[in-house]
Structure 1
Amino acid sequence: MTNPQTFIDHMIPTVLGTVRVRITGSGAPILCWPSLLMTGDMWIAQAECLAERHTVIMVDPPGHGRSQPLTAMFGFDDCAQCIVDILDALHIDVTHVLGNSWGGMIGGTFAALHPDRIGRAVLMNCTGSAAGLGQRIEYGALLRLAGLIGGFRGPLVRSAVKAFLGPTTFRTRPDVVDYVRASVRSVDLSSVSFAIRSVVPARVDQLELLATISAPVLVVAGIEDATFAVPETRAMANAIPGSTFQVLDGVAHLAALENPPLINALVADFLTG
């Protein structure tokens, strides 16, 4: 098992600005891309589990954490190219991908657009569909409110905690609730607003693209996920040929944070085939 002192940080130029990655372990690479409003550190528990067999690459996604702030919106193909840029800088030909929410969507995009660079993919708490009208209205109003009141994060924090966590975590995992609140409070609002707009209201339907994936894929849904309900995530899995779909009890939108032992075992089993 590893610990935070064994991580090596890299600042890597990409199509979406300079991105910070943290690397630990050795063996077949696995690149980990988190949800909106989270940094690569949400994968610490997975890194500690997987590092004995894998080189774990935890990404602070564009505009988040120590990565360069965003100044414009982007497309999912840009995010897939960002992964390619990271791999090229690290001299890695092929990687597994572990993604949550935004990371799960981008993992699917990457697998479809760059089939020669993907091993296996675990896509959690995500969707292949465009944002619905209600979600577009909700996030648009939230961003306008945050801007009007001088960058105050209160509405964003409350909305994110409600969207990301379910009743089991609120009842039994106060440390996870505190972690999510602290993570959202720490964001650069002007930067992440570009990411939120790109990933939520401007998100395009990817189901047709996902149908071209040839890599082994595991799609995971949380039974308590209020952001992407099980039927929406199942539709993503159904679009990916030969994919495996699993619904997890007791977790919501951030399964890797909410129940690390469960996710660690699930990912390790899938990566070993």
Structure 2
Amino acid sequence: MSATDRDVATDLGTLRVRVAGTGPAMLLWPSLLMDHTLWDAQVAHFAPRYTTIAVDPPGHGASARLDRMFTFDECARCLLQILDAVGAERAHIVGNSWGAMIGATFSALYPERVLTSILMNGTASPARMRQRLEYSALLVLARMRGGFQPPLTRPALTAFLGPTSLATRPDVVEHTLRTVRANDVGSVAPAVRSVVVHRPDQRGLLAQIRTPTLVIGGREDATFPPAEVEDMARAIPAARLMFVEDAAHLVALEVPGRVNTLMDDFLRQHEPSR
């Protein structure tokens, strides 16, 4: 399936999106320090039936350099601007971590543009003090060392991947390392501060969501453990919650076949919404 790269002007700079396939729109936003390639397996699986729009988020991948912090509302507006640019009136919103938070925000603010939401490894809660301190220190060290190079790649790996992937999925480890190392620290730092250090409590906002929502978590996720994902799902009326037992923070990359099956089953249940 051929794909086309497009640059979309947004409130947070020009964002690179990769568009493939045909059918109802499916917009995919990845985690911090990841780019659109997190979704390669989902694009390959769904592009025959959906128009997949995989995003390099602000400051990441081939998108414009990020030089300021942002709000989640601004990120949600970026989703709106992407959908407008590609001519999609409504879309299935798929997000991982940062993408899950923004997907939930978008679903609450722009329900008329949402078919369904599939939110992976997300949270609706503000960051714990320990997490704020750890990520702030990681940014300082990365600036001092000129990037996310060893030994700083180890904290990123343990934040993203659990014991099963670290021990048995070398391709996933390599993909994660390669993508993390490719980041420009100065460009991703405002995103890390916005999404982690200054993350808002979204539970009140998420209670406004009325579109069908699937929340997926990884049992081995150390960044947003199951209890935190469960809390997010409880905040969204009638959300469906599913866990993958042997995956962590990047479930779509770690166990793509099982994630695709969960997505397929959910989308099939809401076929009339398409």
Same fold flag (TM > 0.5): yes
CA distance in 1, matches of 2:191, 2:257: 30
Alignment partner of 1:192 out of 188, 192, 215: 188
Identify if the C-alpha distance between structure 1 residues 239 and 9 changes in structure 2 by more than 3 Å, giving closer, same or farther. same
Corresponding residue to 1:261 among 233, 257, 261: 257
Which of 155, 158, 168 aligns to 1:159? It is: 155
* Distance (Å, rounded) in 2 between the aligned partners of 1:99 and 1:70: 20
Tell me if 1:85 matches 2:84. Answer: no
**Counterpart position of 1:63:** 59
Deviates more, 1:121-130 or 1:149-158: 149-158
The DSSP-based 3-state class of the residue aligned with 2:112 is coil
CA distance in 2, matches of 1:14, 1:163: 29
| Structure 2 CA distance for aligned equivalents of residues 152 and 120 of structure 1 | 35
Cα deviation, residue 152, structure 1: 5.5
- Asked if the contact 1:9–1:20 (Cα under 8 Å) also holds between the matched residues in 2, the reply is yes
User: Does structure 2 conserve the Cα–Cα contact (< 8 Å) formed by 1:146 and 1:155?
Assistant: no
The residue that corresponds to 1:13 in the other structure is 9
Establish whether residue 124 from structure 1 lines up as the match of residue 114 from structure 2: no
Spell out, residue by residue over 1:9-51, the C-alpha distance to the aligned partner (whole angstroms, 9 max, x if none).
1000001100000011111100000000110111010011111
Two-structure CA RMSD over aligned residues (Å): 1.0
The residue identity in structure 2 corresponding to 1:131 is A
CA distance, structure 2, for counterparts of residue 155 and residue 76 of structure 1: 31
Q: Separation in 1 of the partners of 2:38 and 2:262?
A: 17
Secondary structure of 1:141's partner? helix
SS of equivalent to 1:119: strand
Matched, 1:252 2:248: yes
Match of 2:171 among 156, 169, 175: 175
Q: Which runs of 5+ in 1 are unaligned?
A: none
CA contact 2:139–2:185 (8 Å) conserved in 1 = no
Q: How many pairs align?
A: 269
Shift of 1:151: 3.7
- 1:216 equivalenced with 2:212 (yes/no): yes
Instruction: Report the Cα offset of residue 156 of structure 1.
Output: 3.8
Deviates more, 1:137-146 or 1:150-159: 150-159
Q: Secondary structure at the match of 1:147?
A: helix
Amino acid at match of 2:237: P
Aligned letter for 1:247? F
Q: Say which SS state the counterpart of residue 64 (structure 1) adopts.
A: coil
Contact 1:156 1:184 survives alignment (8 Å)? no
Which letter does structure 2 place at the counterpart of 1:98?
V
SS at match of 1:224: coil
Gaps of 5+ in 2: 270-274
Identity %: 51
Matched, 1:207 2:203: yes
For 2:208 and 2:234, the matched residues in 1 are separated by 12
CA-to-aligned-CA distance 1:56-88 (integer Å, 9 cap, x gap): 000000100000010000010010000001011
Summarize the Cα distance change of 1:260–1:150 in structure 2 as closer, same or farther, 3 Å threshold: closer
1:242 aligns with 2:238: yes
Where do 1:23-38 residues align within 5 Å?
Answer: 23-38=19-34
Partner deviation per Cα, 1:137-192 (whole Å, 9 max, x = no partner): 11111111222334463344221111100111111100100110011110111000
Aligned amino acid, residue 94 of structure 2: L
Aligned match for 1:74, one of 59, 63, 70 = 70
1:182-233 per-position Cα deviation (integer Å, ceiling 9, x unaligned): 1111011100011111100010000000000000000011000000000000
Runs of 4+ in 1 over 4 A off after TM superposition: none
Q: Aligned letter for 1:50? A: F
Checking the alignment, whether the CA contact within 8 Å between 1:142 and 1:155 is kept in structure 2 is no
Amino acid at match of 2:58: P
1:45 paired residue among 18, 25, 41: 41
